[in-house]
Amino acid sequence: MTQTLTLRRPDDWHLHLRDGAMLEAVLPETARHFARAIVMPNLVPPVVTAKQANDYRERILKALPKGMSFTPLMTLYLTEATDPEDVTAAFANGFATAVKLYPAGATTNSASGVRDLDKVMPVLEAMAEIGMPLCVHGEVTDPAVDIFDREAVFIDRVLEPLRRRLPGLKVVMEHVTTQEAVAYVRTADSGPVATITTHHLIINRNHILVGGIRPHYYCLPVAKRELHRLALREAATSGDARFFLGTDSAPHVDPLKECACGCAGCFTATNTMSILAHVFEEMGRLDRLEGFASLNGPAFYGLPANADRITLVKGAPVPYPAKIETGAGPVTVFDPGFPLHWHIE
């Protein structure tokens, strides 16, 4: 029996589009389903200034296929040399929606990130004053801290002290992966919000390591134990408006994933909505999918929910491609490991 679900067109509150030939290939995979996306600034070189953000936005719009509707929401890459006045102007004129904090060395193209938080306090203070959100990659890079503990340690060492120092700063804990992060969002007074990725609802660390190394499941923050995956599924499907979708869809060509020191990232733009419908149905909470994918994010960012609707239909398994071809090389589409029966009509 065919089932249908109609909801407002969703948004992606954490997305990597890259640039050049890769941008041209992956952008339609997002724009096909999503109306807006917070676009990550970790290009090489990174998007640091208002002008660079506007230039990148223009390249994205130029790459958008005719007939597709999509609004990129730009972010600025926070460095220790970032100018508070430039950030303030970028927010005021609509060139940037948020600022991204990468601890230096935490993930892909993060070498220009922050090593000393004190050096960026003038920027953060200005952001708190104007209400500009800070999107945080929440991991410490201390080599003495186990990679599976870096998110929880970040909350204690960095995030909580920062929020006590600047209680007015709007914080997005991006791609949370632990039950500690879920609990922190739920219990912190006037606390942060959090995005949850598609792939962290599906995989735990066994998927990466058992039976051989599976590089297309390797991402940062790395997938954790099963108890953390279950905590994320509960949070995403709970109806709590502090949690919303940020896919962190991150394309890398296969040769850079399938090598001795492979890149981190899962490319989920193509099949995210099908996977989410599966998860929410499995949890018995399909009626809460619209909140997670379409309503909670706009509410936090002070934007209206999209007026357009999409309809998901459940039927025969959807034949998603294993890869998409780009001018830079093939990119593997995230495989959830089970048939997907929901698709956008």
- What are the chain's domains? 3-344 (3.20.20.140)
Nearest to 276 by CA among 208, 322, 334: 334
**Residues belonging to the active site:** 248
Q: What's the confidence (pLDDT) of residue 1?
A: 53
Q: What's the confidence (pLDDT) of residue 291?
A: 98
Q: Residue 90 in 3-state DSSP?
A: helix
pLDDT tens-digit series, residues 285-319: 999 999 999 999 999 999 999 999 999 999 999 99
Kind plus residue range of the DSSP H or E element containing 36: strand 36-39
**Higher confidence at residue 215 or residue 110?**
215
pLDDT of 259 > 80? The answer is: yes
Residue 99, both tokens: 């600022």
Q: Which residues contact 49 (CB under 8 A, 6 or more apart)?
A: 76, 83, 86, 90
Q: What is the pTM of this model?
A: 0.97
Mean pLDDT over each residue of the chain, to the nearest integer: 96
For residue 102, is it left (φ>0), alpha (ψ between -120 and 50) or beta? beta
Q: Give the CB-side neighbour count of residue 193, counting CA atoms within 13 A.
A: 22
